[in-house]
C-alpha cells in the first residue's frame, strides 16, 4: 500500500496488542498477520500488558520454549509482510542511572533481536512520575532520564528503521499545563534522536475525536509527526463494553501529518474484525482528496472515507467468517466414525442415516436460522463506540424514554393513548429483533467467534428483556416480580454499556428490583427546593393533613413547628430544603431549620430548653402515599442531615403525630432517630431525635 511519507520510512499502520488482560494466543496472532496482509496493513506492535516478561519481569530472558514461540511468531509476521515490533516496558521499577539496569535492558533486546526481530519499542506509559533518589542525582528531570536511556538503546540496536517511544504523558489531557507548554514533552521533543518515533493517543487516553489542529500542535512540540496509538476500540477498562463500530472521527486529512496509526482494540480477538478492517479502509483513503467515497448525508463530511460504508464492508466479510468452521482454533466438523470389521457397532454420527422425523401431532424439529448481515449490523449498533451508540440503540433508548415518561397514556384513555400503544409495539418489535439476533448468533457455525461474543450478547439480551417486560407491564400486559434487591446498592452493582443505560432508565435507575409489587412507574429526581415549589409543598402538606393516617380532624390537631415550615409560614434554612419529583411533578419534600429557637418564638410555640440544648435543629419529611419506594425519602433525609451537621448543629429532632404511622415507621427504620420522652408535649404528638 502506497502511503505518504512522514519523516523517514513507510507509514506505519496496523495493530498494537497493548491492552490489560489475557494476551492473544500465538495462533490468533498468526491469523492477525494474515488479515493484515490481506487488508493492506503492515505493522504489529507486541505489547501485552499482562505478558510478565514484557512489563513486570522485563529483566528476565525468555526461556528456550518461549524463544521458540517468539521466533515462530516473528517469522510468521515476516511471511505476511508485517513488521513485528517488539515492545518492552521497564518503567515500573527501572533505575535509569544504574548501568546494570541499562545492561539488562540491552541484553533482553539483544536476545529478541537474535530471534529475527528488527523493530523495537520502549514504553513508559502508565507509570509513576517520581524518580528515585539515585536518578534525581543523575538526571535533571524524568524526561531527561527516559530520553537518555532511549537514545542509548536506539544506538545500541543499530538505529532500527522502526523504533517507537511511548512517553509517560501520552495524550493532551496528561500534559501540564498544556501540550505546547509541557516541560516533559518539550524535553522529549528536543532531545530524542530524530530517527525515533513517538506514540500518542490524542486529546485523551480514549479520544473521541482527533483533529488536524491537535496533531499539528503536538508535532511542533515533539519535532516530528506522532504515531497514533488509538484506543477508540479498547475495552480493557470496562468488562461490559464491546466496541464493534467503525473507525471514525479521525479525518483522513490526518494521514499526511502522521507517522502512522496503530489500533489497540478489544481484548477479545475475534470481535476485532470490524475495528481492524475499518482502520485498513481508512488508511487506504486517498490523502489528496482524489476519489470521493462519501454520501452527502454522512455526518463526518470526510470526502475520502465513509465510516458507514467501511462498516458494511467489514460486516459483509465478517459474516463469511461466522459461517465457516475452518478458522484457526475453531471447531471442526465431527468426523464420521466408520464401521470396522467387527461385530461391535460403532457410535453412530451420520445424521443422514438416523434422522428422526416427527409425526404430525408432535413438535417439529428445531431448525437454526442462518445468521444475516442485518443481524451483524444490529450487533454493531448495540455495541458501537465508547462515545456513541449505534442508530438502533439510540432509537430504542429514545422510545423507552418516551414510553416511560408518558406511561399515564398506557392505562387511561388520553389523546396520546393510540400513539403510546403504537410506539410500545415498535419498541417490542425492536426488542424481538435483538432476541432473534441472539438466537441466530448462538447457532452460527464458527463457535470461536461466538465464544468471544457470548457474555456480551447474553448481557444485552437480559437488559432488553427487562426493558421489554417493563413496557408490557406499563401497558397492563405483565405481572411484576417480587424479587427483592438492596435499596442502596454498592457502585459495582450498576450495569454498564447499553444494557446499563436501559436499566438506569427504569425505576430506581436499575439498581434494585425493577418489577416489585406494587409497580413503580417513575424515576425519582431529587433537587434543591426553589420558591416556585412553595405551592406544591403546601398542597402536599394539606393532602397529608386531610387524608393521612391522623385520627383527629385537621382543625383539632395540635400546631407543630414543622406544620408552619411545611405551610410556608417559616422559611427553611439555607441549603436545607429539597423536593423529590416523579414523572408527574413534585411528590415529596424535606425541609429543615438549623436553629429552631427563633422559629419557635415566631410561631409562639414553646419548646423544651433541654431538647434544644441537645437537638437544636428540626427536620420535616413528607412524601405522597403513592411513593411506595422509601429510597427518595431516605436520600433526602441523609442530604439534609449532612447539611445540618455542616452548620455546626449537634442534633436534630422531628415532630410527628401518633396517627402518622407511615412516617413514624420511616424514622424508626433509619436507625439514627430515637423517641424522646417529654412531659410538655401535646397528647397526640411525639418527638424523635438523632445526634449528629
C-alpha angle 246/252/254, rounded to 5°?
120
| Nine cell digits for residue 511 | 439498581
- R_g (Cα) of the chain, nearest Å: 33
| Nine cell digits for residue 594 | 438549623
DSSP string, 48-90: -TT-TTTTTTTTSPPPHHHHHHHHHHHHHHHHTT-EEEEEE--
Are 634 and 600 spatial neighbours (Cβ–Cβ below 8 Å)? no
| Nine cell digits for residue 297 | 448525508
- Beta strands in 458-594, from DSSP E residues, in sequence order: 525-528, 577-582, 585-593
d(CA 285, CA 303): 9
| Nine cell digits for residue 218 | 503536538
| Nine cell digits for residue 676 | 424522646
| Nine cell digits for residue 202 | 490524542
* Cβ-Cβ contacts under 8 Å for 154 (sequence gap 6 or more): 160, 163, 193, 195, 196
d(CA 96, CA 33): 35
273-283 vs 26-39: helix crossing angle, rounded to 10: 30
Residue 637: name the closest of 577, 586, 590 by CA.
590
Are 510 and 503 spatial neighbours (Cβ–Cβ below 8 Å)? yes
d(CA 437, CA 431): 10
Burial level of 365, CB count in 10 A (0-12/13-18/19+)?
A: exposed
Place of cell 511468531: 73
d(CA 387, CA 371): 28
Element (H, E) at 307: helix 307-322
* Cβ-Cβ contacts under 8 Å for 477 (sequence gap 6 or more): none
Q: Which residues are catalytic?
A: 126
The SS3 of residue 206 is coil
What is the DSSP-derived secondary structure letter of residue 45?
E
d(CA 64, CA 649): 71
Burial level of 295, CB count in 10 A (0-12/13-18/19+)?
A: exposed
Give the total residue count for the chain: 692
Q: How many CB atoms lie within 10 A of CB 71?
A: 16
| Nine cell digits for residue 283 | 488508511
Q: Phi/psi at 689 (nearest 5 deg)? A: -140, 155
d(CA 580, CA 623): 8
Burial level of 402, CB count in 10 A (0-12/13-18/19+)?
A: middle
Handedness of CA 123, 129, 133, 139 (dihedral sign): positive
d(CA 303, CA 144): 42
Amino acid at each position: 500500500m502506497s502511503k505518504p511519507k512522514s519523516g523517514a520510512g513507510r507509514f506505519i499502520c496496523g495493530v498494537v496488542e497493548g491492552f490489560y488482560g489475557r494476551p492473544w494466543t500465538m495462533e490468533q496472532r498468526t491469523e492477525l498477520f494474515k488479515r493484515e496482509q490481506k487488508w493492506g496493513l503492515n505493522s504489529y506492535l507486541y505489547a501485552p500488558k499482562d505478558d510478565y516478561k514484557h512489563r513486570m519481569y522485563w529483566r528476565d530472558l525468555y526461556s528456550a520454549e518461549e524463544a521458540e514461540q517468539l521466533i515462530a511468531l516473528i517469522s510468521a509476521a515476516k511471511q505476511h509482510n508485517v513488521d513485528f515490533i517488539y515492545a518492552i516496558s521497564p518503567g515500573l521499577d527501572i533505575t535509569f542511572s544504574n548501568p546494570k539496569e541499562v545492561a539488562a535492558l540491552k541484553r533482553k533486546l539483544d536476545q529478541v533481536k537474535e530471534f529475527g526481530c528488527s523493530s523495537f519499542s520502549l514504553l513508559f506509559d502508565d507509570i509513576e512520575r517520581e524518580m528515585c533518589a539515585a536518578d534525581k542525582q543523575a538526571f535533571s528531570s524524568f524526561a531527561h532520564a527516559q530520553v537518555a536511556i532511549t537514545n542509548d538503546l536506539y544506538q545500541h540496536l543499530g538505529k532500527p528503521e522502526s523504533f517507537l517511544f511511548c512517553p509517560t504523558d501520552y495524550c493532551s489531557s496528561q500534559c501540564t499545563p498544556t501540550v505546547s507548554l509541557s516541560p516533559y514533552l518539550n524535553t522529549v521533543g528536543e532531545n530524542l534522536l530524530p530517527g525515533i518515533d513517538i506514540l500518542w493517543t490524542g486529546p485523551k487516553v480514549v479520544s473521541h475525536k482527533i483533529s488536524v489542529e491537535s496533531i499539528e500542535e503536538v508535532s511542533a512540540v515533539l519535532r516530528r509527526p506522532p504515531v497514533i496509538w488509538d484506543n477508540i476500540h479498547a475495552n480493557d477498562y470496562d468488562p461490559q463494553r464491546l466496541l464493534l463500530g467503525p473507525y471514525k472521527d479521525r479525518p483522513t486529512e490526518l494521514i499526511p501529518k502522521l507517522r502512522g496509526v496503530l489500533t489497540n482494540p478489544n481484548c477479545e480477538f475475534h470481535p476485532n474484525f470490524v475495528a481492524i478492517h475499518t482502520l485498513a479502509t481508512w488508511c487506504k483513503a486517498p490523502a489528496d482528496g482524489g476519489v470521493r467515497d462519501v454520501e452527502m448525508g454522512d455526518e463526518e463530511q470526510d470526502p475520502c472515507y465513509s465510516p458507514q460504508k467501511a462498516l458494511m464492508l467489514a460486516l459483509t466479510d465478517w459474516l463469511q467468517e461466522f459461517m465457516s468452521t475452518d478458522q484457526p482454533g475453531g471447531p471442526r466438523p465431527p468426523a464420521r466414525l466408520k464401521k470396522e470389521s467387527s461385530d461391535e457397532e460403532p457410535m453412530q454420527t451420520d445424521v443422514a442415516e438416523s434422522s428422526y422425523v416427527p409425526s404430525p401431532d408432535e413438535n417439529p424439529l428445531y431448525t437454526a436460522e442462518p445468521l444475516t448481515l442485518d443481524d451483524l449490523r444490529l450487533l454493531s449498533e448495540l455495541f458501537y463506540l465508547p462515545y456513541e451508540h449505534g442508530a438502533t440503540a439510540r432509537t430504542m433508548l429514545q422510545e423507552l424514554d418516551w414510553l416511560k415518561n408518558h406511561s399515564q397514556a398506557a392505562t387511561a384513555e388520553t389523546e396520546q393513548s393510540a400513539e403510546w400503544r403504537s410506539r410500545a409495539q415498535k419498541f417490542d418489535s425492536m426488542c424481538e429483533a435483538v432476541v432473534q439476533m441472539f438466537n441466530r448468533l448462538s447457532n452460527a457455525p464458527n463457535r470461536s467467534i461466538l465464544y468471544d461474543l457470548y457474555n456480551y450478547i447474553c448481557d444485552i439480551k437480559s437488559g432488553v428483556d427487562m426493558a421489554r417486560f417493563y413496557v408490557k407491564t406499563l401497558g397492563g400486559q405483565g405481572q411484576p416480580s417480587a424479587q427483592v434487591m438492596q435499596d442502596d446498592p454498592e457502585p459495582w452493582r450498576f450495569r454498564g454499556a447499553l444494557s446499563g443505560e436501559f436499566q438506569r432508565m427504569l425505576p430506581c435507575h436499575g439498581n434494585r428490583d425493577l418489577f416489585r409489587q406494587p409497580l413503580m412507574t417513575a424515576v425519582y429526581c431529587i433537587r434543591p427546593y426553589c420558591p416556585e415549589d412553595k405551592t406544591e409543598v403546601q398542597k402536599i402538606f394539606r393532602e397529608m393533613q386531610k387524608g393521612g393516617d391522623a385520627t383527629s380532624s385537621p382543625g383539632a390537631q395540635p400546631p407543630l413547628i414543622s406544620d408552619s415550615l411545611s405551610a410556608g409560614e417559616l422559611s427553611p434554612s439555607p441549603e436545607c430544603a429539597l423536593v423529590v419529583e416523579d414523572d408527574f411533578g413534585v411528590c415529596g419534600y424535606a425541609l429543615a431549620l438549623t436553629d429552631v429557637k427563633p422559629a419557635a418564638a415566631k410561631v409562639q410555640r414553646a419548646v423544651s430548653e433541654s431538647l434544644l440544648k441537645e437537638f437544636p435543629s428540626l427536620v420535616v419529611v413528607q412524601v405522597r402515599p403513592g411513593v411506595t419506594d422509601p429510597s427518595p425519602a431516605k436520600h433526602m433525609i441523609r442530604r439534609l442531615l449532612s447539611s445540618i451537621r455542616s452548620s455546626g448543629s449537634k442534633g436534630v429532632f422531628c415532630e410527628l403525630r401518633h396517627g402518622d404511622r407511615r412516617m413514624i415507621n420511616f424514622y424508626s427504620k433509619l436507625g439514627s432517630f430515637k423517641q424522646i420522652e417529654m412531659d410538655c408535649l401535646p397528647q397526640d404528638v411525639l418527638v424523635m431525635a438523632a445526634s449528629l
